[in-house]
Amino acid sequence: MDWTASLLALLALPLLAVLVDAVGAARSTRFGPAQRGIDDASLESLSFDVLVPIYGDIRYLTNVDYLRRYGRQVILCTTSGETEDFRRSLAEVAAKHGFRIFRSEYVPPSPGTRRRTGGTVRDRVIRDALTAVVQAEYVVCLDADSTSVRPLSELVGELRRRGDDVASIELVPQSDGPALVQLQRHEYRLAMRLRFLMPWLLSGACHAGTASAMRNIMSQHSLFFQGNDVETGLIGERLGYRMTHIRFAVNTEVPVTLRAWWRQRLAWAGGEFRLYIVNIRFGVWHPFFWIYGSIVLFAFLLLRWEALFHPGLSLLAAAILYFGMTYWIHWKDRSRWLLLMPFYTLVTSLVLVPLGMVWYFAMAIPERNFGLIRFRRGLKVSQAPDRRRREAVAGA
């Protein structure tokens, strides 16, 4: 095997990471933080609802203390197929804090208390809530374990100030935890920088948008859970909505045990196969993103394995360069855990990627939903975004 092919296969991931970091840093000033200078009167006049999907087990709703400041703006979105204990507990939480509850007519085919990593529940309840109960001008979709230091009104206010339609945000994992948590913190930092290049890469844990835009987008969503956030951004962009990235920090919980991490990442790998291979036609519009996924992750998979089974100077050179680039990328946030980062990436790219191909079908077949992303080209986007943009420019 040609040693240059081995070197390229092994270094493709860190080389792309360096490119993302360099270009993302250069463009970070364009997608700045939410403005603290927005006056209180403007923030008070904002009309927005907070959609929180919660189903299966009430213990997954861990951000109640954070949500209580928003009262009736919070809509707890669930299904009609939950247990009596769950419905009673949810009603008690809602009554205590003034939250609203929306129950979709959808009943999951296999209800249970285990956290779901597949299926269509999450996006069904969000889609149905947008259609049935949301009357506010803006919505914030927030996971049941996510919080922010600054009020959500600042996020929505900045979105309105810019006159854009949908915003991605910056996810920040918890700071305390074992090595597995620290490795994920480094991983998340790099992933968030990618939003400066591609603001349509929404995060499922939190994103914001106009209710009209989100309603139109979700009406065309495949409802496939893994990769659902990226799909939302893709559809929104193809429909002509203005996507933006706002540096608004949202705290999220990442797995602290190897078992929980493995279960999550196996599902994520299935979602990557769904996006990069099943929906490869989107590479025409986003070649950088799909070159990384379809070629680097999947096409180079055998090359990476072959390089490991035939070690030589190319493998040694790749290891040295990999360590060097890893430290360069994370220099500002360097820690001793970076020494483990190459091995962490090795497991995800060599083991989880091929298993994800199998797991995709394990998620798709029971629901008879293969996550094909479609959008109706003839659907006309609401003219409201154009009016907001003119008002935003006039008021600047």
Domains with residue ranges and CATH for the chain: 1-29+257-371 (no CATH), 31-256 (3.90.550.10)
- Model pLDDT, residue 396: 31
- Model pLDDT, residue 256: 95
Residue 284 corresponds to which amino acid?
V
Sequence-distant (6+) residues with CB within 8 A of 238 are 285, 375
- Model pLDDT, residue 97: 97
- Model pLDDT, residue 82: 93
- Model pLDDT, residue 394: 32
- Model pLDDT, residue 382: 46
225 and 119 Cβ atoms separated by less than 8 Å: yes
Give per-residue pLDDT as tens, 219-247. 999 999 999 999 999 999 999 999 999 99
- Model pLDDT, residue 342: 77
- Model pLDDT, residue 146: 96
- Model pLDDT, residue 71: 95
- Model pLDDT, residue 392: 37
For the chain, residues with pLDDT lower than 50 are 1-3, 5-7, 9-10, 18, 21-26, 28-31, 37, 41, 380-396
Q: Which one, of 32, 18, 326, lies nearest residue 199 by Cα? A: 32
32 and 199 Cβ atoms separated by less than 8 Å: no
